[in-house]
């Protein structure tokens, strides 16, 4: 019997979180240096930077933990 190696769904979720984190963090850093003409309420909290960083960290964690080469 041949065993086919399957890639877990968590790897793809990690890649997706990583991509979203990079995009949201990039927009947040851009808005930090070039504020919008009419900023949203609570703009000074920079939620896009925080969420982008959280998604980036989670995406890195899942992508590294469940990468295909680490599976047995």
pLDDT in tens, 7-53: 899 999 999 999 999 999 999 999 999 999 998 899 999 999 999 99
Render 4-53 in DSSP notation, one character per residue. -----HHHHHHHHHHHHHHHHHHHHHHHHHS--SSPPTTGGG-HHHHHHH
What pLDDT score was predicted for residue 23? Answer: 98
The reported pTM is: 0.83
All structural domains of the chain with their residue ranges: 9-70
**pLDDT, tens digit, for every residue of 52-70?**
999 999 999 999 999 987 5
């Amino acid at each position: 019997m041949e065993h086919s190696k399957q890639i877990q769904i968590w790897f793809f979720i990690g890649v997706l979180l990583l991509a979203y984190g990079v995009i949201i963090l990039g927009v947040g850093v851009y808005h930090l240096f070039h504020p919008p003409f009419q900023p949203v309420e609570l703009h000074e909290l920079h939620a896009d930077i925080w969420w982008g960083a959280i998604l980036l960290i989670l995406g890195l964690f899942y992508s590294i933990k469940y990468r295909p080469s680490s599976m047995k």
